[in-house]
Structure 1
Amino acid sequence: MDNKNYKFIIFFLAIGYLIDFYDLSLFVVVRVPILRSLGVPEEDFMRIGAYMFNAQALGLVLGGVLSGIWSDKFGRLSAVRIGILIYSIAIIINAFTTDIQLFTAMRFIAALGLAGEFAASITLLSEILPAEKRGFVSGVVYSFGIVGGMLAAYIGSAFHWQTMFLIGGGAGFIILLARISFADSILFKNIKLKKNIARGNVKQLLANKASVLKILALTFSNIPFWFMAFFVNFAPEIAKQVGMREAVNQSISLAFYFTGSFFGSHLFPYIAKLAASRRIAVLSALILMVCAVSLFGLGSSLNTYSFYFILCLIGLASGYPGIFMVLAVESFGTNQRTTAASMISSLSRASLVGINTLVPWLALHYSNMWYASMISVAIFFFLGIISLYFLKETNNTSLDFFEGTVAKNN
């Protein structure tokens, strides 16, 4: 495949992830107008909003696993095409529904469609690109996602929420049409011809002790990303609890976080190249996470500018998912690659439920948000470091291998 075709595929896979981030961020921005349009009483905003978020989270977790299995069984492009189609239909229905239950069901289905977009895209790109380009391209794809989040944050309140949903659905159909001409990697086509090698088999994957240990190690290495998201999701509450006298704006907090993440998405692939190590790039993100969160200890001496700067640093540390996903897909054979990567992504995402419970509980127990944050960061940093230690370095690894054993023909 020539360089021009590479760029074409990279662009439209990156645009797909932009739509992914756009949708998930947009729902946060326009949640209140949506609830008003659906006739939800203001006193029920939190309860119904949480119900919708939980349905969306369930769709993301379940969809990630299903998309990964489908990708390994039928092809990476099949997975991203079906995913964007499901999302586009669901979000357009969302734009016209006036029923709370139907709206929530469509949020679940839209999330189901989007869930495997990133893992399948990075898997495909890793299989068709030279090893030395995988890291930088993963950063490009992830940075497009961040741009999608920024678009939702900046223009989400400028238009009616139904218009924004229709834009997302229409863009999804355009991307689907553009992807029709794409082809799967030679690696996947070759493994598909070998009928005696199981593909997308969760039972086989989990029966292999080495594979399970890799999944757990990679999951614990990715959980810190979701831990850092906690600080931007609850920025106003955290500012108050660390003793700040000034109020913090949620939208501005999100903007600073995304700005840091954008630069981080390019920084960590560069570190990986300099160090010739994916693991060192992830480790550097974890170290930056500890440094950034520790600054909340300044407490009442913080002002809004310094608080937003800390969120920007946290965003910078959160820019490692691109290079992390390359590490994940390079760790598994072609026949189970996306299944494992999507499972890791889904398990990591599910950890947010525990994080959202742990940090407030610690803050209540110690009556100090900084103590709670530092205890949490110590836990996640320790788990991340231990996990990285047990992972094999995958820099410049050939992806032409498979997981498990070859079944004997009778």
Structure 2
Amino acid sequence: MQRFRSITAGGGVIMGRTTFDSIPEEHRPLKGRLNVVLTRSSADLMSATPDPNIIFVSSFDELDAVVGQHDHLSWHVIGGVSVYQHFLEKRSVTSMYVTFVEGSLECDTFFPHQFLSHFEITRASALMSDTTSGMSYRFVDYTRITSESDERMYLNLMQDILTTGHSRDDRTTMGTLAVFGRQLKFDLTNGKLPMVTTRFTSFRMVLLELLWFMKGSTDTRELSVQGIKIWDGNTTRDFLDARGLTDLPTGDMGAGYGFQWRHFGATYGTCHDDYTGHGVDQLNEVVRLIKEDPHSRRICMTGWNPAALGRMALPPCHSCFIQFYVDQGHLSCHMYQRSVDCFLGLAANIPSYALLTNILATKCGLLPKELIISTGDTHVYSNHVEQVTLQLSRPPLPPPMVRVSPVVKDKDWAELNEADFELIGYMHHPSIRAHMSV
């Protein structure tokens, strides 16, 4: 309430009748502000509540007229749903002030989020705690932007596949609709993290898998025990045996992502072996080049090693080639992805490489700028078409923000953990479940 008063003091507040009635009687109208209330009973209320600081109106036309007559004031819309919707449709709202409360709450009224795709986070407070209720909360400010959201490019890509894609057989026998050769760009400035908002994507899943890659681990059970099951299907006994990897234990992904990032060229045994000092540590070489030769055109790494493909449970779909670019104190990343499961895989790959760029920027004293993903075989599985169609019907919401702790700069890759990262303001539509083809 202190924040609410500081933002609205000296201006005008616009609300519906239910919002007005929710204000304790001794505080109505809100002091130090011109109160405008939309209600069908405007005449009765005006006579019952005579006060120069309150105006009752019975239509949106009257409401707009009052706002126009007092255009010297800074106006704030404080509820309810129809009033929010009216001003968002008019595109006259320039800023939003949101309080995010952590925890599960029962709600029966929801903000009209279909209008939010043109807003972005511009400020976020630290997480605070209320000693009375024990709940945690933070303040997040949004500002209107004029460009189309980055997520819209991702949605347009899936729409393009459904519209123009060709049916193709694939390794999983599920079948896909596919196109070839596309590119997406995502803005990483000011802490923006390009998480898909048109359905829920687990930040924890994305983060823990990335940290697992970066420390060079290939034991998928390290993820599984933390509830991250995305690699379980590709490292079962049957799957490994079918790949001819009969010597690898269940849960061993073979010489995949993390092994190539940290030990490229080393001979792979099993996930239990110690590879310290073996092969090329591409990740540390990237850090060295960014720091010592930032204009180098060789700040690259790859997960695609033709000599080791036979020792991988699944050859890398992404990180086939990654290049980093330093410009005026900013770091950008360009990743080529040979095989793109747009519904399940790409929704996780986008924030994963955005996080990788944030981590490298932090380690090298830079700011993240842009993520570019170029794609090869870009597809939607036949059993995901219904889910994609549902997702395409949903408007994107503003992207969240990520904070990377400064301690990341001096930590070893194996020491990085969840506590070093904070996701802020992730608004999203409900989950859409789909089966992963393996």
Q: Could you say which structure has the higher strand fraction? A: 2
* TM-score tier (shorter): under 0.3
Say which one has the larger Rg. 2
Normalising by structure 1, what TM-score? Answer: 0.26
Normalising by structure 2, what TM-score?
Answer: 0.24
